[in-house]
Amino acid sequence: MPEIGSLLNPDVYYNGFEKEKIDEWSGYMWQRASEIFPRQKLKIFNRPIKPNNIQQGRVGDCYFMAAISALAYQKPDMIYDMFITKEVNNSGIYAIQFYINGARKVVHVDDYLPTQPNFYGSNLIMGSSKDPGELWIPLIEKAWAKLHGSYCQIEGGNPTSVFTHMSNTPSIYLPHKQHEMAEEVTKMQIWQKISHAFKMDCVMTSCAGTHAYGLLACRSIADENIVHIRNPWGNRAFPQQLQQAS
């Protein structure tokens, strides 16, 4: 069974982790997936892979959840191919591949997941799926945490790093402030880059302040430029009238 060090090292200061949060995390329990969900409901994927199943947990890795949301929406086969182990097994060991500086790196994780006990049993407290028993989301997040040392060490980050680690392709970050022209020109430049990127089948996220969103689509409707984003905390889509108009 994993130890507290897989979540955090209480003796090390982590940016943004107050003592209360460290105390809270120290009380989490590790349980196997089969202890959390009925065995017959366990599966790695519920095909097709659905971005709306992705739920961020207690760790502040919205950049990671936003990135896998965008991948699940545009290139679900890329996520599927990352899993070398594609079926649930009794040993609960799963192999997931990433890329580090262009070199393939296979990360092995078990299905012990951090939970918080409650009256009805226990809840997953890190990333999870809205489809009970679907494991690819908590497993890929656990592999990302293992790659970096612990869950605590994936708090805060940049989606471009996630894309590069998962796809072995270059990623770019476009800060809005680099455009020093008039506001309307800046908006048009950003829009042109976004719409061109979608035509090139690029996968994108959008960051606003300290939160990240999956950038799933863009449309020009009634002289308005509209982007479809997904918050790792929710699952709202275009309003129905906009879906019909597009």
Amino acid making up residue 2: P
Burial of 57 (0-12, 13-18, 19+ CB in 10 A): buried
pTM of the model: 0.84
DSSP letters for 13-50: --TT--HHHHHHHHT-EEEEHHHHS-GGG-BS--SSP-
Closest C-alpha to 231, from 197, 201, 207: 207
* Residue 187 banded pLDDT, cuts 50, 70, 90: confident
Candidate from 76-80, 120-124, 216-220 with smallest mean pLDDT: 120-124
- Does residue 65 carry a pLDDT above 60? yes
Q: Which residues contact 185 (CB under 8 A, 6 or more apart)?
A: 179
Task: Tokens 């908006």: give the residue.
Answer: 187
pLDDT digits (tens, 9 = 90+) for 90-101: 999 999 999 999
